Every structure is written in C-alpha cells, then in structure tokens.
Structure 1
Amino acid sequence: MPVNRLGPIVPHSLSRPIGLLAWLTLMPQTLQAQPSTPSPAERGQVELPAVTIAAPPLERPRAPGSLSVLEREDFDASQPFTVNEMLRKLPGVHVRDEEGFGLRPNIGVRGLNPTRSTKITLLEDGIPLAYAPYGDNASYYFPPVERFASIELLKGLGTLAYGPQTLGGVLNFLTPAPTREPSGSAQLTVGNRAFRDVKLQASAEGWLVDLTHKQGQGSRENTESDLLDLNLKRVIDVAPDHRLTAKLSHFIEDSQVTYSGLTQAEFETFGAQYNPFRNDVFETSRTGLSLTHRWKLGPGRTLSTQLYGAVFDRDWWRQSSTTTDTQCGTAFRDARLAGERVDVERCASAQGRLRYYRTLGIDSRLRLQHALGGWAQELEFGVKLHDELQERKQVQAGSPRGRSGPLVEDNLRETRAASAFLSNRIALGEAFSLQPVLRFEHIINRREDRLGDLGPQSDTLRTFIPGLGVAWRFSPESTLFASVHRGFAPPRTEDVIAGNGTVTEVAAERSLNVEVGLRSEPLDGLSVQATAFRTDFDRLTAVGSIAGGSTPLAQGQALFQGLELSGQWAFAPSAGAFTTWALTWLPTARQSEPFRQVVGGAPVAGSAAGLRQPYAPEYLATVTMGVERPAWRAQLEAVYTSAQFADFANTVAPSANGQAGRIPAHTVINLAGSWRLDDRWSLLATVKNLLDAEDIVDRTRGILTGPPRRVHLGLRATF
C-alpha cells in the first residue's frame, strides 16, 4: 500500500511551536548589542553553547576516560541509511536491528543487553533524547540519522556528568551548527524497496532549517514507514558575553509495523521476511523545544544553562505482541507454532497501546578555571531539575482494524528528579592530571491507576555516585588514562509501584566500573585508542520483552570485562588509501549468581551462576577500507557479530516459539561511493548488506532478521 500518509510538509501541530520559536528569535533588537566585525571563524560556522559532552579537541588527549567521536566526514563517507550503521563504528557498542529503518534502535554498551536501549543515556545536543529517561528509559522513538552531524560516546568517568544512566555509557547526537554566511544543500535519494529520501538544509545569519522526508518498505512483509523530520535553530548574540540558542524539532512517523517476531516453523516455512500482521500500525509525533544560554563570566569562567521540554505521542495498534500470546486465541497461536499461514482478518482483536509523554527540565553548568593551592585546576559544577509525565492507556478493539473499544488500562506515572555533580580536574605538572567526581540523584516516582479504587502511591530514591580518574600524557603523542566510578540506574516507575498501588522494594542497579586505556598518535595519519574495562554488578536488572511479559522483573549479580580497540590509519597517503576499525572482545559476560524475581525471589528460568548473559556477543568488529581522491571516494565495510545467546539458560537449539536458541555469528558487507561532478553537484551510491544475508539478530519476541539488501542512488547539490 502507499505510505505517503503524512499530509502537508508543515503540519498544523507545528504552528504554536514555530510561533514560540519566532518570538524567541525575533525579540526587540534593543536587547542585542551591536555586533562587532566578525572574525573569519565567526563568518563561518557558529559556535554552539553547551552542546558537546566530550572534551574539546585540544583537551581530548588529557581526558581521564574513554571517548569516541564520529565526525561529519564519517557520515559523508558512509552515507548511512540508519543510525545503527554509524553506532557500529564505535568500540564497545552492540546495536541490534528491528524494523529496518533504525527508528527504534536497540543499543548496548560493553555487554549490557541492548533491548530498547535501556542501559545507556541518550542525548541530543546535550539534552535528554529519551522521552522518560528516569521513569521509563525505553527507546520507541529515534530521529532519522540524516538529522545529525556527529556522535560522541563517553564511557567511564565522563558518564557521571550526565545521567541518570551511568552503567555503560552516554551517547550524544549533535545536530549541525548554523552558519553566518548563506549555505545549504539539497539531496534526493531513491532505491529498492520503494525507498525515497528528500533532504533539505539551509543556513544563514545564525539560522538553520533542516528538513528530511523519508519513506519506504521495512525489513519484512507488511512493514513500511513514512517519516518527516524538521529541525530549526537560531543563534543570537544578545550581548558581547551572552549567546542564546533556540531550537525546535518536530518529528512525525506513520508506520505499518508489528511487534511480534516469527516462530521457528514460520521462519523455516515462509522465510525471514514473512509477516502476516498487515493491520498493525505505529503512529507517533514528537515536538521538542530548547533554549540554551551561554554566559562568559570572564577568562576561564563559563556558565551554560539549558531549558528544555518535549511532548511525545505514540499509538501502536497491533494484533500480536509475541509469538506466544493468545490475543487472537489459542488456535491462532498454535497455528503459528506449527508453521501454518494465519489469516489476521479472522482475529477479532486489535490492542491499542496509547502513550503520551511530557518532559521538562533545566540544566545549568558552571566551568571555572582556578589555581587553588598553586595547582592549575578546572572545576565543573552542575545542577538539573527534571520532570516527567507518562499517560499510558490500553484500548481493546473487537475487530482486526478496530481503533476504539473498552479501556483496559489508564495509568498516570510521574517522575521528578533533582541531580547535581561536582568535578575538579587537577593538573599535577605538565603530564599528570587527577579528577575526582561526585554525582547526587534525588528521584520521586508517583503512579496512579485511574481505573482502580486506590489513590496515587509514591516512592523516593536518593543516592551519591562517586568516581575518580587519572591521566598521564607521557609523550606529546600518547596518553595513559584510568578511571573508577560507581555505575547507577534507577528502577522504572512501574517497577517500584505496581498497578495495584503496591510499592515494591526494587533497588537501583549498581555497578563498579573500572577502565584503563591508551590514546596515541604514534605516526602521521595513525591514531589508536585501546581500553580494558571491567563492570562488576552488585545488582543488574534483567531485560526482556516488557510488553509480552516473557521475562519477569528480576535482578542479580553479573560481571562484564573485556578489551576495546579503535583507530584509523591513512596507510598510503599518496594513493588516498585508509582504513578504520572498531573492535571489541568481551571474554566475560557472566551471571555471577542466578537472577531472581524481585517479587517472590524465584530464580528466572534457566538462570545459573557461570552462564553467559543474553545478547552479549564475545566479538564485535567493524573494519573499513577505502580510497579517497579529489573527485571521488569509495569504501568497503565489514561488520562482524559473533554468536550470542537469547536467554539466561544459554539454550543452543532453537525453541518452537523462536524466543530461545543460539544466534549464530554473522557478517554484513556494505559499500559506499561518491563522485563529485563539479563544485556543486555530487553523485552518491550505496549498497547495504551486499550479500543479502538473512541473519537472525533478535529473538526477544520471536525471530527477527537483519535488513535485506538495499541499493540507493542519490544526487546532492550544495550552495
């Protein structure tokens, strides 16, 4: 069916946010100081305040923790179709595909389960990207990769400056900066599987307008997506030492996509792309607003404050959540288990999982260089107030395409959090630095069942999270670094307060994180980073299919340790030849004890000390080889993921429902090339999954395979 269902390019729902942004940016000119003559740098890209989370480029060698950055050039070279492709270029990151468009990425760091990206902190321009990072840190929304200009990944000590998740890492996705001089680009990309992508960007006088319209078929039958993404920025120098950045983003997705995977018999009989659930739809919209103020208080002193808010609506109507649910009856389920083709029109049911989220917050950070005690030091102090509201409803319709019916869930969940952190980097001479960090979290959860007779219930959590890092730059080209910190993640609101109003004693996740690494540029054109890490969990919360209820809320002790290696090398500069790599070895990802259900204490089925954690492959590798010439560029990329288990019991043989069994190792080959026709026009070409492999990547709700082969051709104009 056609997927162009979004209507006008600028929907009516944007009128108020655009009006607010215009009011912010077109304030009376009397508030603005007369601009001085801009420097050459000022005439180009505008410096955005409080956006990056990694150290500035000149300070990165001295950072006391591992960090990785993908720049604009990496995006241009790879021409990614989804953000998953870019994230696999980062060491220690395991990304699992789902619907094929990368709209719900499953991201894990250093062996942690990637399901719904619940074990990491996601930011955009330093602002929370998840719709409920404290109360429900699950990713059902993600902007198209075309929105971003670069990606930063912090692991180790650096995560304590952000939160609330400090277990594995912090990913910050940066949008482009406006320019002062007029500039822009337009790109049209087409491909197989009915793919079309239009990308427009224009910038001048501190304004940026960025628009993406993208549509096409997903990885399976009866899956297709149509999305529109708008990003507006305005940078204003209101005084010589004051700069404001106003930002508006609006995203709409209209997808035909289901939740359930395949049974083993369906996979063997009908193939990887089989999907009978043609009536399932996913509709969502998200509007985000932020205002950032940067104040240069004097030499070495800066105060940055971000005010942010977002509204997220999500309606997912589906006829199945897993391969084992009985929403359509036991006979329907048994037919799927037997590998028989089912008729969803005979299933007189459609469940509407209707969600509304509202997030507000303010984050203020002071950076101060000082010399207390005669040592050169940089102090950073930050405070954040954050408020979340979740309205969760479930409607049970009585027909395959029904969109109304009895309300079976009406739940209100609220989270209020206050956090602060203090960091002080001390330079002990020219080569050494020491950095203690302390973070504090105060979290209040509240839940009310609007269908029940009980009133609202609440729960409060407070904790301190310490860390310490050191760095030794023993040569101009090389730095050793090490850090230790306490990892922390709060429980979800629904975990600490049950639907019947019972407050459950669910402790926060807690770990001891240690890393030791080396950054070096030993030769011209060669840069490497190697890191050994150990993450020892006192409490790790099990991740499963939340909607399907296949894994009860459970916790246990676990240990993850391994090595990461990343880098790039221009090994034949005269020919323009280069290679990049991101390698991860995870020899240990074990359950230190059986994981037990929080309520009742019963062990999770199959869990036992010494077994490997689910979805923790031992080896990950992304290696790229390429050639760059003045007029063209081509590169070949290989992405390898070793075998992994899908359950705590480390089951090898596939189960009938497709939810257990060893996931074999697999390799995906990608090609990308570009040809510059002249100063303005360029031709682009990519082949994703060149060999058209049908590899199993997920069994959480049944079997899912990776995206099929995609061939894309594009034409880009710049001005």
Structure 2
Amino acid sequence: MFARSTSECHRSRSPFKPTALAFAAATLALCSQAVNANSTESTLATVEVIGSEENLIKLPGSANIISQTDLDNSRAFTVNEVLRKVPGVTVRDEEGFGLRPNIAIRGLNPTRSTKVTLLEDGLPLSYAPYGDNASYYHPMIDRYSRIEVLKGSSALLFGPQTVGGVINYITPTPRQEFGGSLQGTLGNRDYFNGRIGLGGGGFNLDYVRKQGQGARDNTNHELDDLNLKYAFSIDERNALTLRASYYQERSQVTYAGLTQAEFERFGGQYNPFENDRFDIERIGTSATHDFSLNDNATLTTSIYYFQFDRDWWRQASNSQDAQCGGAFNNARLAGQAVDVNSCNSNQGRLRYYETYGIEPRLTVAHSAGEFQAGVKAHFEDQDRRQINGSSPTARSGVVVENNLRNTQAYSAFVSNRFDINQFSITPIARYESIDVERLNQLDGSQGATQISAFTPGIGVTWNPSPTLTVFSSLHEGFAPPRVEDLIGTAGTVTEVDAEQSTNFEVGVRTQLGETWTLQSAYFRTDFSNLIAVGSIAGGGTPLSQGKALFEGLEVNANGELGMGFLGRLAYTWLPTADQTEAFRNVSNGALVGVEGNRQPYAPRHTLTAALGYQQGKLRSELEAQYVGQQFSDFANTVAPTPDGQRGEIDAVAVWNMSLNYQFDKATTGFLSAKNLFDKTYITDRTRGIIVGMPRLLQVGVRYDF
C-alpha cells in the first residue's frame, strides 16, 4: 500500500538531493584521507547536545540527562512517562503507547510536539522539522539508552525551533566485545514486548517488537523497530559512525475524540470507529564523521536521509466531523451508540516525506575557552494526498487533495566560550534562510515564498566552588511556520509571520551534601509573535497569531534519603502563560481570544516525585505524576461543551510502580504497574475528549550475555 507511481510522487523532482549527497560523499572521502600521527585515536563520531555530566559546569542553561539506569529503574513504558521526569516539560498522552507524543517545554502548546526540536544522536528526528514539524511518528522509548534535554541560549546550536528547547535521544553505543541481551515483557491489555540486542567489534543491532491494546476500545498497535549502528576508527584522526533504521507501525486507531455525552454515558474508553487504520513505514540512514584537525580541533560532519510514509484512513477527524452526516453527529451529541458501518465514507490522509541534509560542525578548544561553528543544508519534500472513499472500509476513492510541498533550508551558527577565572561567557548567533513552495496538482496552482531570521544570544556561568554553578542566558527564539500556513491551496501567500521570542533564564546547579543534586531556574519567554495553528489550538480555532508571555520556575532534585531510600522530584510552576494581546485571525484580522486569557494546555503546576528503595538485589520505586488544571481553548471555557472540544481539564495525579530483582549477574526480573489505581482522566479535548491509558500491569525478564 506504500507504492507511489511516478505520476503521483515527486521523489526525483528536487535538484538539490544529488548535489547535497555528492557534496557529503566528497567531504567524507576527503576527510578520510587525512593522517596525523600526533593526534589521539578517535573512537565514536557523534553529535552531542549536553554530553557527559562534567560539561554541565560550563553550560549556561537548564540541562537534564536521563540515564539508562533511570530508564531501567522505572521500567518506562512510553517516552511521555520519561519526559515528565524533567522539570519544565509537559507531555500529553494521546493513543496510550506514546507513539504520537505531545511534548511542550515551559508552557508552550504541546500538540504534535511542534514547538520543540527533537533530535536522535544529534540529527533531526522529525520527518519535516522546517515545513511540517508535527510528530505523527515517534520511536519507542526502548530504542534509547539516554535522553538529553537542553534549554536556554545553547539551543541556538541546533534548530530550527529555538524557543522552548532541544530534546536529544541517544541510541546505545556500539560495543567492542561480543555480547548482547534478550528481554521479554507480558502484560494485560494483550501487551507483549520482545527485544534483542547484539553487538561486537563496534557494531550494534537492536530489534524491538511491541504490541497491545491502546487507551480506548477498537485501538490496537503492532510495532517493529530495527536499528543498526557501526562505529569505527579509520585512522588516528578519523572516526566514522554509520546508522540505519527501519520502523513499522500497524495500528487500529481513530483521530476523533468523544462528545461530552458519550464520555458520561459510555466512559472514556468508548470508541466506535472500528474501521480506522493508521500505517507507517520509516527508513532512516545517516553517517557521522569525526576529523581531528589536531589535538584541540575536531570537524564533525553528518549526512542524513529519511523516508517516511504514512496512511491514515478514518471515518471522523473530530467529535463532530461532517463526514458521516448530521444524524450521525446528533446521535453522538445525545450520547447514543452509533453504527460506523452505516456511514458509507472513509477518508484517507496519505503522506509521503523525504528529508535529507548535511551538517558540518567545527569545535576548537583554545587557551581562552572553546569555539564552535557549523552550517547545515536541509531539504524536505512532501507528497500529500487525501482520498475520499464511499464505503466504511474503503481504501480508494476520489482524490480531493494532491499537492507537493518543498522546503530548502540553510542555516549557520557560531559561538565562542570565554573562560575568565570562575566565569564563562558565551556569545552565540544563528541564521536561518528557508525557501518553501507548494504545488496543487489538481488545478496546477502554485506559490513560493522565503523567510529568514538572525537570532543572537549570550550565556554566562559562574562557578564559585566545584559543587556550585550559577547560570544565565538571554537569546532570541525562532520557529518557522508550516508550508501550508505560508501558502494556501490556491498558491496564494498568507501573511503569517515566523514565531519570534525573547528568552531569559537564570538558575543554579549544586550538590547538597554528598548525595543530593539540585537544579533550579527562573524562566521568561516573551513572544512578539506566537502562531496558533487552528488544528492544535482547540475547538477549531482559525490560524492566528499574536503576543504572549510565559514565566515560571522549575526545580529538580534527587539523592539518597538514608537506610536504602532514594528520592527524586521535578516540579514546574507556571504562573504566567497569557495572551498579552488578543490574537488575530491571519485571514481576516478578527480577534481570537481575549487579552489576558491563559494559553490552552499550559497547567500552572506539574510535579513528578518518586520514592525508591534499594537493598541488595532488590530495587523498587513508587512514582506520582501530577498535572494541574488547564484550559483547552483560547476563550478559557470552563463548562464542557456538548462536542467535548472545549472545557476545563481537571488536575490529575497518576501513580506508577516498578520492582526490579537481580537474580544473578546476567538475569534481572521486573514487574511494573502504570496508572496503578486505574484512574480515568481526560488528557485532551482538541478533537473531542481523549483519555489516558487505563491501568497496565507488566512482568518481564532480561538476560545479558
């Protein structure tokens, strides 16, 4: 079902891919010929966002590292669960498996993770970070050994979204000696997770098969994730890391939420849309080359290519979609059970993306500090179609949308850290130039436009003692609009501006006693322009933009309590997340929302706290994840509307538990409970009511060899 004929697909349309890949190949070939007997031997070529914890003393921003031990101790089920352990990060559940996480940093709208830069091994994870930064795909948490979360001016080293922060998922480092692991997990809701890892000689293979029921009726997921990684030294000055991945998802899952009456009568797990299907295939390849110019300078060059194919056939896109007619929708509003097989319609949203690019990055250590600079050429080709079928299970029909969208982005950054006694000062700047075009293949209309941005910043750290770092940063943030927001179906260019903000933070990292670590930061994000995309703002809000202010405090701490007990806490207080002026509809200038209203999906309080106990071979943990009350639309509607798309979302606390027991050096058994008390709670009203995952009980074993 993923085949595309040459008349339907633009895979060979762009003239830029051969040029970029040829340049990348030439760069790697040239670098691999260099030899310098005086330099040290390279081992692993990679792009780091934070790196080791030793780097934190020079980092002028809030930073968190989630280690492999953290992941194992909590027996994390989804990336949503993991990222809630980081202060300043909120994540909204959707289908239950964390396959389409809705991630936000410091109060920004979390829908589809559009406001955050997602990386894997320092390279783009999103299939279209410039032209359509929506996460309809996200790898399983099982794929990663470590996660880095970075905020502040250092985000300008990456991009293009440089407002909230950067999340970098790191795959396991290839091992030199032969070995591996086998792991199996079973649970309720038909859950199975099988994993195998093999490695040796600098090569790693990881394969995960995961399947089970989602958060609602008529939702099931089948996932396959294969990753290959090979790292080796070419000579004393050159190292190369090669990666390849294949990901497949076959899901029975709907897009539509519930009406208020359906939720009250049938419960949050009700879902009548048994015919909806969601299929993904993603292929990724990349290479990262380290070239040591001398003992102090390294040129790291990455090339990458991703292919993403998504077909989503569904009978409704929200709780009052017109697809099945007025009588069908009225029955839903009245809380009456509906027969989806009586609705002779099924619409396919078919998406195909190619993303590729090259990025050299230079790092030079010098007597006064460290210099960094880099450039990137990045290209995205989108093939988007919609087919309307005339039966409940249709997989063909009338093509009502068929357009091509292309993005060519060029960026550069430069920074220099000056170390002056106990102080470090890091000025930094980034430049983005983005060309986009859109072609409607149904009528031949087309349009093109260009945007650019220069974003400076500066960061400062002060280390008065080996265990205390005071940090602060100030930078201009930037995020590009989507292609479809810039250029309409008829090819007309829309007057929508890029997102721009001024971001400030000041904080402290310290060690308390011998075992406790603490990080706390005050942050302020002042938007001169924030884009509110209609499909993510709640209740069908039109594409709008305006000024907004986010301001708050984040704290995290962890350490030992004594007698085998351990504690961990991540807390965010967001007192301000307001429209500082009423947003305006981009198309007609009409006011949207009210000045002073709170932004949707921006809870004032979020807290994740855990109490652990470790004694001998036993390690247990009890964790509470709390999300405060939040609004679901710009009008700050409190009472729920009949369609379920507006209304206040109550605060909720979800409890998780894990238990690990190491039988011997090679064998570990574990069990976990997610949503321990089986609480039904609303997570989202964007397309109608969506609820969190019911209680999950899982038991498994891991064997290392």
Shorter-normalised TM-score: what interval? over 0.9
Contact residue 263 and residue 657 of structure 1 kept, 8 A: yes
What is the Cα deviation at residue 581 of structure 1? 0.9
Q: Which residue of 2 aligns with 1:563?
A: 553
Residue 241, structure 1, aligned to residue 227, structure 2: no
Provide the alpha-carbon RMSD of the alignment.
2.1
AA of the residue aligned to 2:415: S
Contact residue 189 and residue 713 of structure 1 kept, 8 A: yes
- What's the CA shift string for 1:166-214, capped at 9, x where partnerless? 1101100000000101121000100000000101001100000000000
AA of the residue aligned to 1:702: G
User: What aligned pairs does 1:275-674 form with structure 2 within 5 A after superposition?
Assistant: 275-371=271-367, 376-429=368-421, 431-454=422-445, 456-545=446-535, 550-572=540-562, 575-604=563-592, 607-674=593-660
Contact residue 654 and residue 662 of structure 1 kept, 8 A: yes
What is the Cα deviation at residue 542 of structure 1? 1.0
AA of the residue aligned to 1:471: T
2:54 and 2:664 map into 1 onto residues whose CA distance is: 34
Contact residue 534 and residue 544 of structure 2 kept, 8 A: no
Contact residue 420 and residue 441 of structure 1 kept, 8 A: yes
2:659 and 2:369 map into 1 onto residues whose CA distance is: 46
1:196 and 1:167 map into 2 onto residues whose CA distance is: 38
1:123 and 1:630 map into 2 onto residues whose CA distance is: 37
Contact residue 115 and residue 544 of structure 1 kept, 8 A: no
What is the Cα deviation at residue 377 of structure 1? 2.1
What is the Cα deviation at residue 548 of structure 1? 9.6
TM-score normalised to structure 1 length: 0.92
1:260 and 1:93 map into 2 onto residues whose CA distance is: 26
1:291 and 1:549 map into 2 onto residues whose CA distance is: 43
AA of the residue aligned to 1:424: N
Contact residue 117 and residue 138 of structure 1 kept, 8 A: yes
Contact residue 538 and residue 646 of structure 2 kept, 8 A: no
* 320 and 188 in structure 1: CA distance in 2 versus 1, 3 angstrom threshold: same
AA of the residue aligned to 2:166: V
Q: Which residue of 1 aligns with 2:218?
A: 222
AA of the residue aligned to 1:432: F
Residue 683, structure 1, aligned to residue 674, structure 2: no
1:687 and 1:167 map into 2 onto residues whose CA distance is: 35
What is the Cα deviation at residue 51 of structure 1? 3.0
What is the Cα deviation at residue 563 of structure 1? 0.2
Contact residue 47 and residue 177 of structure 1 kept, 8 A: no
What is the Cα deviation at residue 236 of structure 1? 1.8
Contact residue 539 and residue 646 of structure 2 kept, 8 A: no
What is the Cα deviation at residue 300 of structure 1? 1.4
- What's the CA shift string for 1:104-128, capped at 9, x where partnerless? 0000110000000000000000010
Q: Which residue of 1 aligns with 2:61?
A: 65
Contact residue 108 and residue 115 of structure 2 kept, 8 A: yes
AA of the residue aligned to 1:486: E
SS in 2 for 1:216: strand
1:450 and 1:714 map into 2 onto residues whose CA distance is: 51
Q: Which residue of 2 aligns with 1:100?
A: 96
What is the Cα deviation at residue 547 of structure 1? 12
SS in 2 for 1:158: helix
Contact residue 34 and residue 237 of structure 2 kept, 8 A: no
What is the aligned-residue identity percentage?
51
2:516 and 2:260 map into 1 onto residues whose CA distance is: 46
AA of the residue aligned to 2:438: R
2:379 and 2:140 map into 1 onto residues whose CA distance is: 26
SS in 2 for 1:94: strand
What is the Cα deviation at residue 506 of structure 1? 1.1
AA of the residue aligned to 1:697: T
Contact residue 317 and residue 353 of structure 1 kept, 8 A: yes
What is the Cα deviation at residue 452 of structure 1? 1.1
AA of the residue aligned to 1:665: A
What is the Cα deviation at residue 370 of structure 1? 2.3
Contact residue 537 and residue 686 of structure 2 kept, 8 A: no
SS in 2 for 1:413: strand
Q: Which residue of 2 aligns with 1:193?
A: 189
SS in 2 for 1:545: helix
Contact residue 349 and residue 398 of structure 1 kept, 8 A: yes
AA of the residue aligned to 2:490: N
2:259 and 2:539 map into 1 onto residues whose CA distance is: 17
2:444 and 2:34 map into 1 onto residues whose CA distance is: 59
TM-score normalised to structure 2 length: 0.94
AA of the residue aligned to 2:612: G
1:279 and 1:309 map into 2 onto residues whose CA distance is: 33
* 166 and 301 in structure 1: CA distance in 2 versus 1, 3 angstrom threshold: same
SS in 1 for 2:293: strand
Contact residue 656 and residue 673 of structure 2 kept, 8 A: yes
- What's the CA shift string for 1:307-340, capped at 9, x where partnerless? 0010000000000000121100111111101101
What is the Cα deviation at residue 630 of structure 1? 2.9
1:406 and 1:557 map into 2 onto residues whose CA distance is: 41
1:403 and 1:486 map into 2 onto residues whose CA distance is: 46
1:356 and 1:110 map into 2 onto residues whose CA distance is: 32
What is the Cα deviation at residue 505 of structure 1? 1.6
Contact residue 539 and residue 645 of structure 2 kept, 8 A: no
1:217 and 1:352 map into 2 onto residues whose CA distance is: 23
- What's the CA shift string for 1:569-598, capped at 9, x where partnerless? 1121xx321111110000001111111111
Q: Which residue of 2 aligns with 1:138?
A: 134
What is the Cα deviation at residue 56 of structure 1? 3.4
1:111 and 1:548 map into 2 onto residues whose CA distance is: 16
Pick aligned residue for 2:76 from 57, 74, 80: 80
AA of the residue aligned to 1:261: G
Query: Between Structure 1 and Structure 2, how many residues are aligned?
Result: 678
SS in 2 for 1:163: coil
Q: Which residue of 1 aligns with 2:14?
A: none
What is the Cα deviation at residue 369 of structure 1? 1.8
> Which runs of 5 or more residues in structure 2 are unaligned?
3-20
Following TM superposition, the consecutive aligned residue runs of length 4 or more in structure 1 with deviations greater than 3 angstroms are: 31-34, 546-549
What is the Cα deviation at residue 545 of structure 1? 2.1
1:441 and 1:213 map into 2 onto residues whose CA distance is: 39
Q: Which residue of 2 aligns with 1:697?
A: 683
AA of the residue aligned to 2:640: P
What is the Cα deviation at residue 32 of structure 1? 10
AA of the residue aligned to 2:306: A
SS in 1 for 2:397: coil
1:58 and 1:101 map into 2 onto residues whose CA distance is: 34
AA of the residue aligned to 1:404: S
Q: Which residue of 2 aligns with 1:11?
A: none
2:534 and 2:178 map into 1 onto residues whose CA distance is: 49
2:337 and 2:410 map into 1 onto residues whose CA distance is: 52
Q: Which residue of 2 aligns with 1:168?
A: 164
